[in-house]
A and B are shown apart, each in its own frame.
Chain A
């Protein structure tokens, strides 16, 4: 096994069960960041706290491992301005250099020729500080001073063994790497020795004892009464498997369509005499959301459309009666003028909507896209419209049996909407829902050719109470 393989094995063994200690203040800051408003895009959910830590950890590991690998295989002393070059694993170390030139000084390392002398063994199983080499990769702050004097020796501690640098008279740097198994040496030729300078390198040391000391020192500090927040959790089954009831209300807009055979004058006069004024709806409903997000919803809905009817007639003779205290009509007089009539028609319905939908979302925002049928239970009206003689006629339900009255049941229609929920707490949500309703049949009676139909769109606002 070559050096690189040893390195990989060592990294794997050392980091396999790695779990860094994090100060509580970090959790506190993370919670604060979570409470800030952030876009509700689904993509944001990817970068929750756990994933971010994992990514950060991976980045650190790869950076540290890469740096360590670089330092170990290619540390340099005389290269001007250049860090020690790490030889890659593909390059085999030279061995058995048989000659030492004059002036060469060998310290602890044995001559390459084979005398091991004080070999230091590399034992990956032995932890550092036990007299043996450290079992974890270590990256020390290292200052490599390049000197022209050939008598500078630098010994770099590494866990794989010892590295001895010696300088030959010709300026060539001789590096001897000695591990528990074999010794090899490599030479790098220094072309131009440079004046002394420093090149600092900073590497993160992930030694357990070092980290433990740091945490212990921080824990001993008096940081005040800091409440440690609970670990944030991800909402399980966010949209599915829910049951809730809602109460809502809101404004509507009614789209009216009028038709008659032959585009009659009567049709034109009816259009001119009535105008949409306002509309609203309110109700309550029950929704069951299954685990797959599909929902079923039913309820009771009340809708009201207000319409303004205007009528005017000139050359009217008004007779005013004079009535005495006894109730007798004791006189009258006539005045000619014009009559102006304004009546606010009201079209009211009670309906039962039954819709299917799909609910999705997580966290504070949910959405339910739904569509279905709306069944009219009862309709009633109040007000006036023009009859065929262009005179006002009462359409109030139950007052007469005029053909100009409207139906008391307009049948089935279609309804669809998108409910958006904002979570207040575990039980309550605020609801906003734009919707559209399409009625299949006209509201006017069948025994006249004139047809009047309403379709509505609106915005419902309400409150949702989760039952489960």
Chain B
């Protein structure tokens, strides 16, 4: 009898425990997949890396307009951005050099806010030197989807208002670099000029695309230091951009990747200036941002490096743009 009871009990236990099995939901990575975040710093940033996608997603769309190019008369375009462009007759040619008249499309926008400079990834630096901008302008001409150039010797006029007008402003043209970097080149062609009026800048230029009015920040006799930002290991130059945004003047510097130190560092910046350190990253389909208000040159080490440690948090793209719009 005891043996029978034992057998019955074991059988009941088997039935009971068989109905208590755990559910399973597992993800099996494909072979060769990384099982953690990418912590590699790359010497060359390619267009396939997340940072390229980040920058693409942050871009502001240009204002699109059109203008009629006349064979005999000046034509003007006043865009909703506040920029007025003047086109002399027969100023446009195709890439083949053929004269273009008639209606052409104009992509135009002006960047006067520092947040937009971050969004457009257009810091104000020229060959590593800090610039103070009066506004960054972009103009592009197309006809039927084809790029339109200015005819040789032809110049267009760009006028926009700004306060205050600083007559120290010089003309710079933008230069797209590899690794997603951007540089402003000082104008050396005397045919390109800047006019100053009351609250108005007038640029006469033979070049299209990125045009900037800046002056070099005079650091003569000013102690300068380097701002260096340390981020968690999953933030690398492959997925992150960092900027130093000065609060008191229109200057935005991009922090460059230090592959050796695995940090983002600025060039030498004047001490004592209020600024934001802004870090934006894209990992997966999510965005992360960190913003730190600092005063440059504070707590620097013996090498004149102001080391900061930031931890970005997950933030929506809309929230990132909203905050940058406040800069």
Contact = CB atoms under 8 A, between A and B. Distances in A.
Given A249-B12, A278-B18, A344-B21, A337 B232 contact: no
A127 to B, nearest CB: 58
Contacts of B30: 335-338
A329 B33 contact: no
A306 interface: yes
Interface string B33-76: 11111100000000000000000000000000000000000000
A367 interface: no
A340 B26 contact: yes
Contacts of B25: 339-343
A289 B283 CA distance: 75
B313 A329 contact: yes
A337 B29 contact: yes
Contacts of B281: 331
Interface stretch (A68-76, A150-158, A181-189, A318-326): A318-326
B112 interface: no
B18 A330 contact: no
**4 smallest beta-carbon distances between A and B, as pairs:** A337-B29, A333-B37, A331-B234, A329-B314
A119 to B, nearest CB: 75
Given A251-B15, A338-B30, 9 more contacts: A249-B12, A306-B21, A319-B284, A322-B234, A332-B37, A335-B29, A337-B30, A340-B24, A341-B24
B26 A333 contact: no
A331 B283 contact: yes
A277 interface: yes
Nearest to A319: B284
Contacts of A319: 284-286
A339 B27 CA distance: 4
Given A280-B15, A319-B284, A340-B28, A333 B36 contact: yes
A337 to B, nearest CB: 4
Contact of B26 (A320, A339, A346): A339
Interface in A142-171: none
B283 A332 contact: yes
A461 interface: yes
B29 A336 contact: yes
A271 B38 CA distance: 42
A328 interface: yes
8 contacts: A319-B285, A329-B286, A332-B283, A335-B34, A337-B27, A337-B29, A344-B19, A461-B8
Interface in A250-280: 251, 277-278, 280
A379 interface: no
Interface residues of A, number: 33
Contact of A306 (B18, B36, B284, B288): B18
A90 interface: no
B15 A333 contact: no
Contacts of B16: 280
A332 B314 contact: yes
B33 A335 contact: yes
A22 interface: no
B188 interface: no
Contacts of B232: 322, 330-331
A335 to B, nearest CB: 5
Given A332-B284, A333-B36, A335-B35, A278 B234 contact: no
Contacts of A304: 19
A337 B31 CA distance: 8
Nearest to A315: B30
A333 B234 contact: yes
B326 interface: no
Query: Which interface residue of B15, B26, B29, B286 has the most chain A CB atoms within 10 A?
Result: B15
Contacts of A322: 37, 232, 234
A307 to B, nearest CB: 11
Contacts of A335: 27, 29-30, 33-35
Interface string B283-320: 11110100000000000000000000001111000000
B184 interface: no
A448 B11 CA distance: 39
Interface size class for chain B?
35 or more
Interface of B: 8, 11-12, 15-16, 18-19, 21-30, 33-38, 232, 234-235, 281, 283-286, 288, 311-314
Contacts of B313: 328-330
A334 interface: yes
Contacts of A318: 27, 29
A316 interface: yes
Nearest to B25: A341
A331 B19 contact: no
Nearest to A344: B21
B29 to A, nearest CB: 4
Contacts of A344: 19, 21-23
Nearest to A327: B313
A330 B311 contact: yes
A346 B19 CA distance: 8
Given A342-B23, A343-B23, A330 B34 contact: no
Contacts of A333: 34, 36-38, 234, 283-284
A98 B15 CA distance: 102
A457 to B, nearest CB: 15
A278 B11 CA distance: 13
Nearest to A277: B18
Nearest to A330: B311
Nearest to B32: A336
B33 A337 contact: yes
A144 B108 CA distance: 155
A335 B36 CA distance: 8
Contact of A338 (B27, B35, B311, B312): B27
Contacts of A342: 23-25
Contacts of A337: 27-30, 33
Contact of B314 (A278, A330, A338): A330
Given A306-B18, A324-B311, A332 B28 contact: no
A336 B21 CA distance: 28
Nearest to A323: B314
Nearest to A337: B29
Contacts of A280: 15-16, 19
Interface string A307-320: 00000000010111
A329 B288 CA distance: 9
A341 B37 CA distance: 25
A251 B35 CA distance: 44
